[in-house]
């Protein structure tokens, strides 16, 4: 596994990174997989996971994962633990063809040619912004912010005052473009809010993030987005072109093996506002529509997004032996709570928080003890 350095202090969930790293470092992410920016290492052989797989791809990767990844050494998915103590960038991920196009045009900023659908499963209470709010909520917020309404065209002002929108997607895009065109809008809103005595929950949220990212050009966009709070075990799936930003908490994350991100705010990294605005899915949705409904069968809860690259299972081990079924693809399994053992025949591995094991295709293992495990795998049959 690989720890990715953070700009903020270590949070509890990031303790998983400390099994193999200096405790004095600060980590925001633990990566498990073969991505070139943070490849895992097979501890027993001191080999990068890519090198270990390449030595016997038929056995260690299998035909299904090889078909999706397109080579003999890389997994089609990337598994992570995230610890968020400061709002992460407003971002979106391209689909496969757009990822290839961006990579060809600008490989320095888009080093991946792969898409990056992703799944986030809360380990703690987890706050995020996901997708555009219902139009009625956006109009209500704009109506309460004269400093924003003063920037709108006459046509947009009429829509806000009348409350009727013929083309919802075009309306949201027009507002977004105005937000990004105003260099000091965050500061203007901040001053207006400081002069108010009766702040709405959205106003208070804006101020919380402003304190982390003062004068950020992308910050006003959060007024347009659903603010959701996931409880442990709840999840969101973010497909191509879905705007989002993670805000606070710890989560398990799984995605296609890519680090392809188009950013437009809340970050010191490269921002590509024009590309983001042109590619977004502007469909307004409710908070409830953002939350993914998993399938639970006994001790195993399955999170199966509509992509073949990956799926995740949460395995609650509580005294009785739990069978982790064999899959056509490899599985990466991490322990996030408690202690136990995973075994296959005479081979046993003790599991504690942060222990990560790799299970080759076609192998069934049994788990015992008192522990919570998460398994990632490829869904292709």
**Token pair 């399938």 is at which residue?**
295
Q: β-pairing, 235-238 with 365-377?
A: unpaired
Length of the chain: 381
Is the Cα torsion angle 107, 108, 110, 111 positive or negative in sign?
positive
Instruction: Give the residue from 11, 48, 47 showing the smallest Cα distance to 29.
Output: 11
Q: Quick one: which of 259, 256, 220, 185 has its CA closest to 90?
A: 220
Is the separation of the CB atoms in 342 and 323 below 8 Å?
no
Using CA of residue 177, residue 180, residue 184, residue 187, what is the dihedral sign? Answer: positive
- Which DSSP symbol is given to 335? E
| Residue 225, φ and ψ in degrees, nearest 5 | -105, 150
User: Of 11, 60, 133, 263, which is the active-site residue?
Assistant: 263
Distance (Å, rounded) from C-alpha 240 to C-alpha 87? 21
Catalytic residue flag (residue 248): no
Reported as type and span, the H/E element at residue 97 is helix 96-105
Residue 374 CA to residue 299 CA, distance in Å, equals 12
- The count of C-alpha atoms lying within 13 angstroms of the C-alpha of 240, restricted to the half-sphere facing its C-beta, is 14
- Burial (CB < 10 A; 0-12, 13-18, 19+), residue 360, is middle
**Could you tell me the CA-to-CA distances from 379 to 44, 251, 325 in Å, in that order?**
28, 21, 13
| Distance from C-alpha of 340 to C-alpha of 324, rounded to nearest angstrom | 14
* Structure-token pair, residue 246: 């993670």
Intra-chain end-to-end CA distance of the chain, in Å? 26
Q: In the chain, count H helices and then E strands.
A: 12, 21
Which residues are marked as active site? 263
């Amino acid at each position: 596994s690989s720890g990715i350095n953070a700009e903020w202090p270590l949070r509890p969930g990031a303790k998983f990174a400390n099994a193999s790293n200096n405790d004095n470092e600060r980590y925001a992410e633990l990566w498990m997989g073969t991505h070139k920016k943070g490849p895992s290492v097979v501890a027993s052989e001191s080999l990068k996971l890519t090198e270990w797989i390449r030595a016997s791809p038929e056995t260690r990767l299998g035909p299904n994962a090889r078909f999706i990844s397109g080579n003999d050494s890389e997994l089609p998915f990337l598994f992570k633990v995230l610890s968020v103590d400061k709002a992460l960038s407003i971002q979106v991920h391209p689909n496969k063809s757009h990822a290839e196009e961006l990579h060809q045009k600008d490989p320095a900023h888009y080093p991946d040619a792969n898409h990056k659908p992703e799944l986030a499963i809360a380990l703690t209470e987890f706050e995020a912004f996901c997708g555009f709010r219902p139009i009625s909520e956006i109009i209500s917020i704009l109506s309460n912010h004269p400093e924003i309404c003063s920037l709108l065209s006459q046509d947009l002002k009429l829509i806000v005052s009348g409350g009727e929108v013929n083309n919802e997607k075009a309306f949201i895009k027009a507002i977004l473009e105005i937000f990004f065109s105003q260099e000091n809008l965050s500061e203007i809103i901040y001053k207006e809010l400081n002069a108010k005595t009766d702040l709405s929950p959205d106003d208070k949220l804006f101020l919380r993030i402003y304190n982390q990212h003062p004068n950020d050009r992308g910050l006003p966009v959060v007024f347009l987005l659903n603010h959701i709070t996931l409880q442990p075990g709840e999840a969101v799936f973010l497909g191509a072109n879905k705007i989002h930003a993670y805000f606070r908490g710890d989560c398990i994350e799984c995605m296609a093996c890519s680090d392809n991100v188009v950013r437009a705010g809340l970050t010191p990294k490269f921002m590509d506002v024009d590309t983001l605005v042109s590619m977004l899915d502007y469909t307004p949705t409710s908070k409830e529509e953002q939350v993914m409904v998993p399938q639970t069968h006994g001790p195993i809860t399955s999170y199966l997004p509509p992509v073949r690259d990956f799926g995740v299972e949460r395995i609650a081990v509580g005294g009785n032996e739990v069978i982790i079924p064999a899959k056509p693809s490899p599985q990466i399994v991490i322990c996030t709570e408690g202690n136990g053992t995973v075994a296959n025949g005479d081979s046993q591995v003790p599991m504690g928080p942060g222990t990560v094991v790799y299970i080759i295709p076609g192998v069934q293992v049994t788990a015992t003890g008192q522990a919570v495990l998460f398994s990632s795998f490829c869904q292709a049959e």
